[in-house]
Structure 1
Amino acid sequence: MTDLSQFDPNTVGNPNNNIFGLPFTEEDARLVIIPVPWEVTVSYNAGTARAPEHVFKASLQVDLFDPEIKDAWKQGFYMRPMDRKILMKSDYLRKEAELYINFIAEGEIVQDNKFMCKTLKEVNAGSLYMNEWVFQQTKDLLASGKLVALLGGDHSTPLGFFKAIADKHGDFGILQVDAHCDLRKAYENFNYSHASIMYNALEEIPQLKKLVQIGVRDFCEEEWDYIAMSNQRVVTYFDKDIKARLYEGQTWQMLVNEMVGHLPQKVYISFDIDGLNPKLCPHTGTPVQGGFETEQIFYLFKKILESGRHLIGFDLNEVGVSNDEWDENVGARCLFKMCNMLIASNPQQTAAPVAPLTNAEN
């Protein structure tokens, strides 16, 4: 058991400790964050593979006091060291993928080029390896009784986590905060593209009963048709429709209550940071104008918990890396809030009580 008697939560974060400057070991921490430094299939800005280490550094600036969810951190947050093999594989395959993407961008035919056929095969095999690695890591942690979060990396990273969650919890739903639908089938012929994560989840995980997407503002006709044909398995709140309803007098509370109403009892949150206004994430992989303020998203998360639904896990991905550390700063603060909420949604009788989310404390 980690001794907190000498730990001062009000002082500067200690870089010799773990995430957020906390002194917990993996054994003692209740919540374990798995970093996945992977960005092989990104189609615009690269850099998110380095996000975990940069978010870790920025996390030392995050104050541990959360007036809405007090002392959740005392139950222990721990981020595992980055797996160097995953990072090296990502770096190598990213270079290969860039050659391939540039090749098809020039209108060339992949089937006519043996090297490009080989490259595509290698990228798909590498992505499958990453998915299986994530599945095993998350499955083992869940089996040991840990709460688990994932920090990407691009948005292809959590598919294995979804599958581990399904194995443990059965039927569940995903709340996806994102500027994109991510419902493309094998985008650019990459079977596990970042732009295909939710398509793959829906096709490969029967326990995924509902996908609620919010903030979408960049999508193709194929995705539009997929949503229409999903028989309400996919419910999408497009950014333009959200804004129109707000402009016409509806409140954010009204919209949030409606969104939450679509979710089943067990909820997983997949937070692509590009769902936020790009002023908050200018170096994310595929920024799009529009989007949310962080407090809008935190309010939504809060209402999920207040509804009595059970938060069973989350991922945060597509955080960019910048010279001024702004993206990483925002990412670290989003990560901390979500860690607190995961703890609050999973009370443990033997743990120190966590102050509930109440309007009186807002």
Structure 2
Amino acid sequence: MTPNAQYHKGLPRFVAEEFVEGNFLGLPSKPGNADVVILQVPYELTTSYGQGTAQGPAACITASGQVELFDPILGEDLPAGYNIHTAPEWNGEGNTLEQQLANISNYLAKWNNGTTFPVILGGEHGILPPIIKSLTNHPAIDGDYSKLNIVQIDAHADLREELDGEPFSHACAASRAMDYGLKHLYQIGIRAFSKEEYERINTDEKITTFFAADILRNNAKWQKCLDALRAIEGPVHLTIDIDGLDGSIVPSTGTPVPGGLNFWQAVEIIEALFSAPNAKIISMDVNEIVPQKDTPLTQFTAAMLATKGIVNHINKRKSNRW
């Protein structure tokens, strides 16, 4: 099909396929098995500051319509011959927090089949524990969570045992994920944490934390972070809390904190992780997106990061390294 111009806000975007409103990147789903699936989880029950993350997935989908389909890593436009499928969003069923979390896991689980790469859009970071639960039967894990690594880009450690009496608060997301007996947790960009969280970071051998103050002011520590990612072995889930980036590019998020990563540092993290020769990134999420009314910068940045993950996944898939 000859590329044609699709106009969005008056600007042409040349695409080789029909633009589908409501689909990530506007790409139509194709018959057959999905290579990449976009899963929307508009969950928001435990936010403790800013509100609006439940609208994040839809806003990210809309913003993705402005993202360029070409990336030099692939050398061609997305979908690059692959099937990128946008699934119907999670239905939000459940009368209690526990029921909703279980429902999220059930919604995600069928896509963790080892042949499809799930990209999950949130929603508050409280979606992380049900994401991890949904991986139970993934062929790379097969019920053994001691194989699984998590790489977490975040402003917050999320290692609290509870917040305001709630152990499944978004502030406890990493701690609840660790309850599954993970192989290792890598945290990047952390700059907001309690005394108890700091003590756990310094004593738990399964946690490696690269604090923002260190990696942003010391190039040797930044390189050490990237080297650690390239050395990861085994299955990995990548979780990106959008507040891990600096507020200048993500001004609207659930709990903003100054002094974060810039966009290209976040991209470098993604690229380093996907380049790890002995790692298999089996899924990723981008969360804590609060749509902006005055500018779409936050949701557009989130869409760009999700796209970078997809590009790197497809690049690895093309070379039979996934």
The aligned counterpart of 2:262 is 293
Give secondary structure in 2 for the equivalent of 1:192. coil
Give a deviation string over 1:59-79, Cα, whole Å, max 9, x none.
Answer: 110110000134452312222
Q: 1:348 to 1:162 in 2, by over 3 A?
A: farther
| Counterpart contact for 2:163–2:172, Cα < 8 Å | yes
Q: TM-score, normalised by structure 2?
A: 0.86
Partner in structure 2 of residue 50 of structure 1: 55
Counterpart among 214, 239, 252 of residue 270 in structure 1: 239
Matched residues in 2 for 1:284 and 1:132: separation? Answer: 25
Distance 1:153 1:201 in 2: 17
Partner secondary structure for residue 32 of structure 1: strand
Q: Using a 3 Å threshold, how does the CA distance of structure 1 residues 48 and 26 change in structure 2: closer, same or farther?
A: farther
* CA drift at 1:131: 2.1
2:153–2:239 Cα contact (<8 Å) kept? yes
Query: Is residue 11 from structure 1 mapped to residue 14 from structure 2 by the alignment?
Result: yes
Q: Does the Cα contact within 8 Å between 2:155 and 2:257 map onto a contact in 1? A: yes
- Over the matched positions of the two proteins, sequence identity in percent amounts to 27
How far off is 1:43 after superposition? 0.6
Moved more, 17-26 or 52-61: 17-26
Quote the residue 1:336 is aligned against. Answer: 307
Q: 1:234 to 1:144 in 2, by over 3 A?
A: closer
Q: Which amino acid aligns with 1:153?
A: G
Are the equivalent residues in 2 in contact too, given 1:59–1:329 (CA < 8 A)? yes
Whether contact under 8 Å (1:29, 1:78) holds in the other structure is yes
User: Could you tell me which residue of structure 1 aligns to residue 227 of structure 2?
Assistant: 257
What does 1:297-336 align with in structure 2 at a 5 Å threshold? 297-308=266-277, 309-323=279-293, 324-336=295-307
Aligned to 1:237: 210
Query: In the aligned structure 1, how far is the partner of 2:273 from the partner of 2:170?
Result: 26
What's the counterpart of residue 110 of structure 1?
none
- Stretches of structure 2 that go unaligned for 5 or more consecutive residues are 6-12, 142-146
User: CA 1:28 to 1:189, structure 2 compared with 1: closer, same or farther past 3 Å?
Assistant: same
Residues 234-255 of structure 1: CA distance to partner in whole angstroms, max 9, x if unpaired? 1111111223423xxx374444
DSSP-derived class of the 2:127 partner: coil
Structure-1 separation of matches of 2:51 and 2:158: 17
Question: What do residues 97-150 of structure 1 show as CA deviations (whole Å, max 9, x unaligned)?
Answer: xxxxxxxxxxxxxxxxxxxxxxxxxxxx72222221222222211238322121
User: Offset of 1:14 from its aligned partner?
Assistant: 2.7
Q: How many pairs are equivalent?
A: 303
The structural deviation recorded for 1:7 is: 5.9
Structure 2 CA distance, aligned partners of 1:18 and 1:240? 38
Aligned to 1:179: 155
SS in structure 2 at match of 1:188: coil
The structural deviation recorded for 1:345 is: 3.2
Counterpart of 1:30 (choices 15, 35, 40) is: 35
Partner amino acid for 1:226? R
d(CA) in 2 for partners of 1:176 and 1:348?
Answer: 26
Matches of residues 1-362 of structure 1 in structure 2 within 5 Å? Answer: 5=1, 8=4, 11=14, 14-16=19-21, 18-25=23-30, 27-71=32-76, 73-74=79-80, 75-86=82-93, 126-143=96-113, 145-168=115-138, 169-170=140-141, 171-203=147-179, 205-206=180-181, 208-230=182-204, 232-246=205-219, 250=220, 252-261=222-231, 263-308=232-277, 309-323=279-293, 324-347=295-318
Counterparts of 1:151 and 1:342, CA distance in 2: 16
> Measured at CA, do residues 214 and 152 of structure 1 come closer, stay the same or move farther in structure 2, by a change above 3 Å?
same
How far apart are the structure 1 equivalents of 2:164 and 2:129?
18
State the 1:223 CA deviation: 0.7
Asked if the contact 1:311–1:345 (Cα under 8 Å) also holds between the matched residues in 2, the reply is: no
Q: Deviations over 1:185-225 (max 9, x none)?
A: 1211112110111100111x12x110010110000011112
Shift of residue 82, structure 1, vs aligned partner: 2.3
Paired with 2:87 and 2:200, the residues of 1 have a C-alpha distance of 37
Unaligned runs of 5+ in 1: 90-124, 357-362
Q: Distance in 1 between matches of 2:89 and 2:214?
A: 39
Q: Which amino acid aligns with 2:157?
A: C
**1:297-335 Cα shifts (integer Å, max 9, x gaps):** 211221222231221110100112111211111111111
Cα drift, residue 164 of structure 1: 2.6
TM-score (norm 1): 0.77
